[in-house]
Structure 1
Amino acid sequence: MTSPELLEQIVQLAQDAGQAAMRIYNKDFNVEYKDDKSPVTDADLAAHRVILSGLEKITPKLPVLSEESAAISWQERQQWQCYWLVDPIDGTKEFIKKNGEFTINIALIENGVPVLGVVDAPALGVTYLATQDIGAFKQVGEARIELKVTKKENKGVIRVVGSRSHSSEQLANYLKQFDEVDMVPKGSSLKLCLVAEGAADIYPRLGPTSEWDTGAGHAVATIAGATVTTVDGAPLKYNQKESYLNPFFIVSALQS
């Protein structure tokens, strides 16, 4: 059910939510902590409200799963063939640090596959957008650049994008397979987008993420031509189980 018109509506909606977040970003804001100790700010809730209101107008019959309204039973969710997957602000820790590397994420999931995704980074003035029928793009101002991954041989210097807020011994061990590694630190779902735009060759995520953290960036990466798989090589799928947690996964522009 994707279309150019729908993509433009979602781009505008993500940017509207981004501007709502920026109004809070540019002043003092309140930080609270959820039961799992993850932070949530006034901006998460403001962006969430903008997105939910907009999606209800654009596609009133489609269900929405958002990080800020995730208490939906598996019995209900497993009936969904098509739904919106939303992270109002991914990279809340980056938002709190005010380093600009946070994103607004909206993805359309059909039968477990992200078929449309918008990742807006309002503090950086960049929006990534993708849909299966027209491709993947990076927008800066009014200009749009099409993103097409050129697969690279698995040798020489490999540019690895990793989290600013998470690192692990598992990642260090994984990277031993490469001759030489150039680490590119980045926060939020921007990591998937860096592979899509050719600024990194691989993003191994060997730590916890939730489905809403990755859906939109996943769409951008795969539609641009990268692969997004579990560490076993299976496609990363959505809404296939009761837990929202993703398995460990690899986003790659390397030749297999």
Structure 2
Amino acid sequence: MQFCGHPILSSKDIWALLNLCHEASQSILAHYNDAASAGLLRSKEDRTPLTQADLESHEILSAGLRALRPEIPVLSEECSESEIAGRHEWDVFWMVDPLDGTREFLERTGEFTINIALIEKQRPTLGLIYMPMSETGSLGVVGEGAWQVQRDSGIWQSQPLSTRRLPEESLVVLASKRHSNPRLDSCLSFLGSKRELSRLNSGSALKFCDLAAGRGDCYPRFSLCSEWDVAAGDALVAAAGGAIYGLDGEPLQYNARDNLLSPHFVAVGDGSASLWSDLLQCLS
């Protein structure tokens, strides 16, 4: 299969991204499988955990992305302030989370990912969420399509991904038990009053992958997260046929504020369903 149609990246570039994620994932798994190096290195200023696996993945991905396209800057979770000092001047850049789900990594659930997005004019046009444990990636190119890509004996195999239409009588909400809060409770209460409701829990960016694959209908997020947690999933869901709305009903903008915290959002598989506008009105 050839990936084509992206205005900046060639099909060769996209295959190179997959190989780069695989390389970084091997470093992550080496630490994951070694009890002596899989623990907490330190807590960052925002109290989120940092491990040696985060740092090594960051170094591999940053170097690989700069080698791939030297003209495109890299904004990674583990970049220093000096490295991204001019970020507001970037029209095009990579947004990277080298290890999304560090708590899942530390708790050995296996539910952690590598997230890479290409941002153009404050919107993601490509998103790749790579799952080291299964050597599987979910890739979306906005305007072209989305695919699940699996590494098998060193060869990449792919199949298309698509969100599903909202069922008439029921829906599946994708939400982590870690992120329970009053607004999420209100969201679930509203949706439960409209449909028979079931909940699928998973860690890190895997909820975006489930949404893009048609395994769920809605992923509401009302707890603290950063733009690198969301950008790749935003592009993936949009490419698969869904949408992500801020609580104002508008698409999310990236690198548009003084900080890099993500606004609260609702990601949906069937963007045409009127239920979502009713939900956003309820939450406003």
**Deviating more after overlay: 28-37 vs 42-51:** 28-37
Structure 2 residue corresponding to 1:54, chosen from 46, 53, 64: 64
Are the structure 2 counterparts of residues 164 and 187 from structure 1 closer, same or farther at C-alpha, using a change threshold of 3 Å?
A: farther
Determine if contact 2:223/2:264 at 8 Å carries over to the other structure. yes
Unaligned runs of 5+ in 2: 1-7, 275-284
Larger Rg: 2
User: What SS is found at the alignment partner of 1:83?
Assistant: strand
Unaligned runs of 5+ in 1: none
Q: How many angstroms does 1:11 deviate by?
A: 1.2
Cα-Cα RMSD: 1.6
2:16 is aligned to 9
Length-normalised TM-score, structure 1? 0.94
Q: How many angstroms does 1:164 deviate by?
A: 4.0
2:25 is aligned to 18
User: What SS is found at the alignment partner of 1:239?
Assistant: coil
1:83 is aligned to 93
Are the structure 2 counterparts of residues 5 and 243 from structure 1 closer, same or farther at C-alpha, using a change threshold of 3 Å?
A: same
Structure 2 residue corresponding to 1:38, chosen from 48, 59, 62: 48
Inter-partner Cα distance in structure 2 for 1:243 and 1:72: 14
> In structure 1, what residue type is equivalent to 2:180?
S
Ranges of 4+ aligned residues in structure 1 off by more than 6 Å: none
Inter-partner Cα distance in structure 1 for 2:14 and 2:160: 15
User: What SS is found at the alignment partner of 2:179?
Assistant: coil
Q: How many angstroms does 1:75 deviate by?
A: 6.5
Determine if contact 1:2/1:131 at 8 Å carries over to the other structure. no
Structure 1 residue corresponding to 2:146, chosen from 133, 136, 142: 136
Q: Higher relative contact order at CA 8 Å, sep ≥6: structure 1 or structure 2?
A: 1
2:187 is aligned to 174
Length-normalised TM-score, structure 2? 0.85
Q: How many angstroms does 1:124 deviate by?
A: 2.8
Deviations 1:24-45 (A, max 9, x none): 1111123121111110111000
1:150 is aligned to 164
Inter-partner Cα distance in structure 2 for 1:72 and 1:157: 49
